[in-house]
Structure 1
Amino acid sequence: MASEEPGATAARVRQAGETARQAATTDEALPDLAGEAGATMEQGPMPYEIVRSLQFLQDQVARGNGAAIRVQSRLLRRYGPTFAELAPEVWQDPRNRRAAALFVLSGGPPPVLRKVIERTSPEGEDRLLLEGALAYVENRSAEAIEKLGAINLATGETGLVAQVELALAQLQQESDPDVALARLKRVMLAAPGTLLEEAALRMGVMLAEGTGEPEAANRFARQYFERFAKSAYAGNFRARFASVYADRPAGTEEATVAAIVDATFTIPSEQQLSIFLAVGRRALVTGNLRLAAMAASRALAFPAMTREDRVRATLYEIAATLTERDFVEVRTTLEAIDPALLHPADQKLRTAAVRLLEQMRQPLLAGATSVPNDDDEDAVPLPAADMLARGEALLEAMRGDQKRRAP
């Protein structure tokens, strides 16, 4: 097997990275980074060099480069067949074997690993890595955990270690969330600024919250918004973040709002507003009226917002504080809300609030009455107590209706 001077290899790696950078910047057709199928050690960059270009593109995705995600997809599609047809001697280099695992864990086609395993008969940790990665992408979770988990991750290339830790965390997040969270923390330390850290922080917020570590969740969320607010996956994270924080337990509302403010202060105001609106609505539907009111009030404090967003925030605040406000004030506010400015689900919320208001003004009757509902069998018994009790029960019925109808 022919050898190559270290300086020449380094130059080729730099050139491959530069080519990938230019492709990601311009979104042009992907250049030939690896040569034609059947490349030898003397022809074009090797698999480990291609994977370095792929990792560069992934990190660009984490920084919000929209072109990079398209170039990455094309690279995976184009060079999967090339990898599968490379000469057997190429895979004698352990760097190329590890690169094959990383290529497939990053979205490359599984047949690449099958070919490498067939042609090289790897042993030891190389076999564990290749077979474990193949099991992972083929959804054979137990086998993947067994084989990837047997690899000594205390040593080894940082990028590979972080990728394996992340894969194991994804596999173990439901069965062993504490272990999965510990793995994510190691990914964050091993691969700062990369797409691996970005993914670890996204998962870390959810796992920390689920394992009873809200302070860790707050820290991960703040780090995510500080470092990866422009990531291609940031929109998805904002939605999940809002859902998690809206579900925090009653009695923690002030701390929850303070945590949201602290985590999001570095992102654009329109994104902060979107988060508070999402928290307000979900908290309202799930029954945490105090958090719903606080989130809606915080949203209304933003100086620049669209008419539609202002109407939404107003509706959520009114619906959350309906039984605490003056009847005339509430009626005037609800009547001033143009249903055409609301999402269909929020139109139903407004209708439910108006219905509730009408019921609250009806004279209290002796004996029991019930809350009007679309189905008589779902009517909620109401004792004849006082106006507040009636309002609270009707509000609970409204929340139940919204839970059933929420998109």
Structure 2
Amino acid sequence: MRVAAFAAALAASLLVLPALAAEHGEAPAPAAESHGSGDHGGHGAPAAPIEPLPVKPRGLPVELTRTLQLLQDRIARGSTQAHLAQRQLLGHIEQRLIGLEPDTWVEPENVRAAVTFALAGGGPTVLRALIKTEKVPEPEQPLTLGALAYLEGREAQARAKLSGIDPRSMPPGLAGQLALTQSALMVREAPARSLELLDLARLLAPGTLVEEAALRREIFVVAQAGDARRFEALSIQYLRRFRRSVYAGNFRQRFAAALTRLDFDSDRTRIASLERMLDEIEPESRRDLYLLVARAGLEQGRRETALFAAERAAGLAAPDSMPADQARLYRGAALIVAEGRFEDGVETLRSLDRSGLAPSDADLLDTALATAQRIRTPPAPSEATTAPPPSATRAMPESGSLLRAQEALAKAERAMAASPR
């Protein structure tokens, strides 16, 4: 009920915004109040009235879109209430825009506001209705048609229409949104240009949900390119400024996977880099991120990364808590394939209570213990000579490091078969 009331209040406020703007643009300012009469030096004539500034009232599409953007900026700052209210507000604005008179779209600023709304989550419906009116000025048609093509998944047409538009020539509310859209259209064919556009989007829309989205996307583009320094700098910036964003959970999942692609195993200096990044956030969130990194490290076969992250998470977890059990699980799974630390890993795994783990972690525990048993108990010589190749062994669906263990086991079996008895 609170969410509905919040959205209703927002919707109601939209009705008065244009009237207020018109009122401030047309009503003359009151004359200056006179505090004197003819007694003060004979200058008792009233002061001349102050002329109002020539402010042109904004159209309803502009006011509606601005209200949506204010709500979305609260989402970037972590307001879950604003996130829940967004859907209702989007539906309300869509209906208001569709119901406007066709002549509304003669004004370029109204067309650009409609495009902003569509790209900010409103979808293609308003743009389709707008184009059907045949009132869109010719200079605004590439923008309108290009945005519609993008929203309908016609990327080639969208690139053709939008690539020649400089986002810096657009109003502030649209400029960053357009740069973000252009970046998405370029990311596969021209990643360097896509990064430039993401930088531009951040500059054009500081502190907004557009900047949050641009920064989040840029981090993963540079991670895919293997640019560790830029990845670190951008990640620290995101964790400092947007760690409370409603979309930070999605960021953290992808962030953990991206970290393992940067190969911390072969470059120990990156361990310090990881610590610098995660030191930017509070201990509980830092613990959860270390757990995500540890799990991702196991899944991608990055033993050193998994071990490091699991040990850091353990230091931040309360004793006998589920996060502490997760950290011990990931540490044990990494240790059974670490040279000279097999017994430590097995002991850690056996100390865990399977019933207290999440289903995916319980499956990982079973797989790790089964792999440890196979490593500890080599096959008989006759079995070893006919051992299947590593590719034919039982798949380990949960952990890349356990796949490495299987390969190590197969290698040991071949060595035992070749040795004299």
Query: Same fold judged by TM-score > 0.5?
Result: yes
Q: Identify the match of residue 77 of structure 1 among 91, 113, 125.
A: 91
SS at match of 1:107: helix
Q: Identify the match of residue 140 of structure 2 among 126, 141, 159.
A: 126
Residues 327, 50 of structure 1: alpha-carbon distance in 2 compared, 3 angstrom cutoff: closer
Asked if structure 2 preserves the Cα contact closer than 8 Å seen for 1:102 and 1:163, the reply is: yes
Is 1:338 the equivalent of 2:350? no
Is 1:293 the equivalent of 2:307? yes
Q: Identify the match of residue 12 of structure 2 among 21, 27, 32.
A: 32
Match of 2:414 in 1: none
| Cα deviation code 1:361-385 (max 9, x no counterpart) | 3367547628999x999338xxxxx
Asked if structure 2 preserves the Cα contact closer than 8 Å seen for 1:24 and 1:67, the reply is: no
| One-letter amino acid of the counterpart of residue 335, structure 1 | R
Asked if structure 2 preserves the Cα contact closer than 8 Å seen for 1:129 and 1:148, the reply is: yes
Map 1:316-395 to 2 at 5 A.
316-322=330-336, 323-325=338-340, 328-362=343-377, 365-366=380-381, 369=384, 378-379=392-393, 393-394=405-406
SS at match of 2:189: coil
Asked if structure 1 preserves the Cα contact closer than 8 Å seen for 2:222 and 2:230, the reply is: yes
In the TM superposition, residue 334 of structure 1 has moved relative to its aligned partner by 2.2
Match of 2:282 in 1: 268
| One-letter amino acid of the counterpart of residue 166, structure 2 | N
Asked if structure 2 preserves the Cα contact closer than 8 Å seen for 1:172 and 1:180, the reply is: yes
In the TM superposition, residue 158 of structure 1 has moved relative to its aligned partner by 2.8
Asked if structure 1 preserves the Cα contact closer than 8 Å seen for 2:155 and 2:185, the reply is: yes
Residues 95, 277 of structure 1: alpha-carbon distance in 2 compared, 3 angstrom cutoff: same
In the TM superposition, residue 24 of structure 1 has moved relative to its aligned partner by 10
Q: Identify the match of residue 74 of structure 2 among 30, 35, 60.
A: 60
TM-score calculated relative to the size of structure 2: 0.77
Q: Identify the match of residue 148 of structure 1 among 162, 165, 169.
A: 162
Q: How far apart, CA to CA, are the structure 2 residues paired with 1:24 and 1:146?
A: 41
Asked if structure 1 preserves the Cα contact closer than 8 Å seen for 2:66 and 2:173, the reply is: no
In the TM superposition, residue 282 of structure 1 has moved relative to its aligned partner by 1.6
| Cα deviation code 1:343-393 (max 9, x no counterpart) | 2232232223322333333367547628999x999338xxxxxxxxxx965
| Cα deviation code 1:128-171 (max 9, x no counterpart) | 11111111111111111111112133433233121111011112
SS at match of 1:369: helix
| Cα deviation code 1:87-111 (max 9, x no counterpart) | 2332232211110111111222423
Residues 129, 392 of structure 1: alpha-carbon distance in 2 compared, 3 angstrom cutoff: closer
Structure 1 unaligned spans of 5+: 1-21, 381-390, 399-407
State, as a whole percentage, how many aligned pairs show the same letter: 32
Structure 2 unaligned spans of 5+: 24-57, 395-402, 411-421
Is 1:184 the equivalent of 2:198? yes
SS at match of 2:316: coil
In the TM superposition, residue 114 of structure 1 has moved relative to its aligned partner by 2.6
Match of 2:223 in 1: 209
Asked if structure 1 preserves the Cα contact closer than 8 Å seen for 2:317 and 2:323, the reply is: no
Residues 247, 152 of structure 1: alpha-carbon distance in 2 compared, 3 angstrom cutoff: closer
Range with greater deviation from structure 2 (200-209 or 69-78): 69-78
Provide the aligned C-alpha RMSD in A. Answer: 3.3
TM-score calculated relative to the size of structure 1: 0.79
Asked if structure 2 preserves the Cα contact closer than 8 Å seen for 1:165 and 1:184, the reply is: yes
Match of 1:96 in 2: 110
| One-letter amino acid of the counterpart of residue 321, structure 1 | L
Match of 2:43 in 1: none
Map 1:244-255 to 2 at 5 A.
244-249=258-263, 251-255=265-269
Count of aligned residue pairs for this structure pair: 363
Range with greater deviation from structure 2 (54-63 or 88-97): 88-97
